[in-house]
């Protein structure tokens, strides 16, 4: 059973990588509709990978919501990551 799960995970990971590459390609050729289509494919592939690993999408979205909440709270309090006098990142915590 573990070997079957590993094969499924490998296939899903490969599909996710292909979808990511397709997104980059659509961005480079400036194909907005293609980017929408490939982004949907990427998210679907990611959801399949979560399912194989028994992760609920609700856990992932809750984590993202918490990071956004924390970033908003820090911004409200005037706390921003700086290096020198420039913002060094726009990434979520």
Cα–Cα dist 18/45, whole Å: 10
Band (pLDDT 50/70/90 cuts) for residue 5 is confident
Cα–Cα dist 72/37, whole Å: 30
pLDDT of residue 76: 84
With DSSP H G I counted as helix, E B as strand and the rest as coil, what are the percentages for the chain, rounded to 5?
A: 75, 5, 25
CB count within 10 Å of CB 18 equals 14
Token couple for 73: 């709270």
Cα–Cα dist 87/49, whole Å: 34
* pTM (predicted TM-score): 0.71
Helix (H, G, I), strand (E, B) or coil at 83: strand
> Per-residue pLDDT tens for 7-61?
999 999 999 999 999 999 999 999 999 999 999 999 999 999 999 999 999 999 9
Check residue 63 and report its DSSP letter. Answer: H
């Amino acid at each position: 059973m573990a070997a079957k799960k590993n094969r499924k995970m490998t296939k899903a990971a490969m599909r996710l990588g292909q979808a990511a590459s397709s997104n980059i390609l659509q961005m480079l050729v400036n194909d907005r509709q293609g980017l929408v289509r490939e982004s949907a494919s990427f998210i679907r592939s990611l959801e399949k990978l979560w399912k194989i690993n028994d992760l609920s999408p609700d856990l992932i979205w809750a984590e993202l919501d918490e990071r956004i909440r924390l970033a908003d709270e820090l911004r409200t309090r005037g706390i921003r990551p700086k290096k020198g006098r420039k913002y060094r990142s726009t990434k979520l915590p």
